[in-house]
């Protein structure tokens, strides 16, 4: 269960990350954001994004036709 969801499927880099950044600002510290993305390069993008921002990448998984990420806002 996450606090907010973002569907970024069909968007190419850098749009999933840019929308994620905006969505994280809309939730409180400690809350989680689920992001669905279809961009094949998004796995590396989300790992780098979490390291750069200090937010926690709680999970990253490949599903049938897309990827699912859960991030926790840390600051």
43-73 pLDDT, tens digit per residue, is 999 999 999 999 999 999 999 999 999 999 9
Are 55 and 46 within 8 A, CB to CB?
Answer: no
Is residue 13 annotated as part of the catalytic site, yes or no?
yes
Of these residues, 9, 11, 13, 66, which one is catalytic? 13
Position of tokens 């970024």?
8
pLDDT the model gives residue 39: 94
pTM score, two decimals? 0.95
**Number of folded domains that form the chain:** 1
CA distance readout (Å), 60 to 37, 56? 11, 11
Q: Which domain holds residue 35?
A: 4-72
Question: DSSP per residue over the chain, as a string?
Answer: --SEEEEETTPPTTHHHHHHHHHHHTS-TT-EEEEEE--TTHHHHHHHHHHHH--EEEEEEE-SSSEEEEEE---
34-49 pLDDT, tens digit per residue, is 999 999 999 999 999 9
CATH of the domain at 23: 3.30.110.40
């Amino acid at each position: 269960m996450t606090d907010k969801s973002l569907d970024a499927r069909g968007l190419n880099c850098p749009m999933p990350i840019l929308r994620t950044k905006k969505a994280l600002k809309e939730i409180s510290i400690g809350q989680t954001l689920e992001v669905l993305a279809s961009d094949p390069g998004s796995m590396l993008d989300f790992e780098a994004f979490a390291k750069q921002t200090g937010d926690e990448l709680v999970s990253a998984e490949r599903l049938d036709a897309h990827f699912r990420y859960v991030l926790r806002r840390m600051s």
